Amino acid sequence: MPDSGSASRLLVVDLAATSRNWSLPGEGRERIAAATPRGWRVHFVSAPTVSDGDGGRPPSDEAVRIVADAEAYFGFGLAKPVFEAGRKLRWVHSAAAGVGAALFPEMVASDVMLTNSAGIYGEPIAEYVLGGVLHFLRGFDFAVAQQHDARWDKAPFVSDDSPLREVGDCAVLVIGAGGLGSAIARALSALGARCVGVRRRPERGVPRGFERVVGPDAIDAELGGAEVVILATPSTPETRELLDRARIARLSREAIVVNVGRGSLLDEEALADALESGSIRGAVLDVFREEPLAPSSRLWKIRRALLTPHVSGVSPRRYWGRQLDLFIDNWARYSEGRPLRNLVDKRAGY
């Protein structure tokens, strides 16, 4: 029931993404309209918005204008001009998992609640991680090079020092044992991998898929025995360059590094050095310190690196179903004064 009736509480939905896969489809608008709680009205912003990131891009004039009367805002993060114009805002739901760009000082200091979409990307990203790990475990990097050269050579696959292994042979360290890390652990452990998780508060328990969890202070002790190291934690001051040069030096020659968290978690130059020297097996990278990754980056030319342009969470057929299940449930909770799912700790940064 967009913009109708005498309803006084306004939700602004700002999801007309320029990328078709990320733009709210017609059936999504219908679901939101049908689920509108009593006393609410909805304005769907028709001006295009950018779905990349978590609110760092300039918003449309329409979004800034209409949010002045809004109590709730649903978009890809939260741009500062939207926050400044939305004097009546009390709740923001982001269709993104990351929240870094939305946590500017004024937002952090305010009483506006922020929820994010952490968890709904878990399944496609877990499949991405599994595929990337298999790329190196099964020697697909050798196959791609040989196909490019029209060369038939079994040696890299069958030699005494062949790096080929099965997933079930691997000890996996997942740094970040929340919704995303847990989905990754479930996918890998289903094939026999032994997964250890790192979480800020290990006393919260061991999620399904992990054999055990440890605190951040145990990372150094765990790295040497890990054949796969997966970064799946948010970017905060405490996690920046979490995998730095010293820690990369602790990794074994068989180690595969995967980053599906944030580019700031990793020292990219140190990783490039390790890949070029052959001191680790490979790296699967979907996120980078600067995006787009510069054409001059050494990483593009390293055969041991598998790079993708921040697309590990893409799932065109299932994304909006999961997203709207979360949002509509939270909208009902907010309207009724119940606790919200995925409530962000604005001071902790996630």
**Active-site annotation holder among 9, 194, 304, 310:** 310
Q: How many CA atoms lie within 13 A of 105 on its CB side?
A: 0
End-to-end alpha-carbon separation of the chain, Å? Answer: 32
**Active-site annotation holder among 27, 238, 291, 338:** 291
Are 172 and 228 in contact by the 8 Å Cβ rule? The answer is yes
**Active-site annotation holder among 194, 262, 281, 304:** 262
Active site residue 262: yes
What's the rounded Cα separation, in Å, for the pair 38 and 107?
28
- The 10 Å Cβ neighbour count of residue 26 is 7
Instruction: Say which residues have a Cβ less than 8 Å from residue 287's Cβ, sequence separation at least 6.
Output: 259, 260, 261, 262, 263, 310
Q: How many CA atoms lie within 13 A of 93 on its CB side?
A: 25
* Active-site residue set: 262, 291, 310
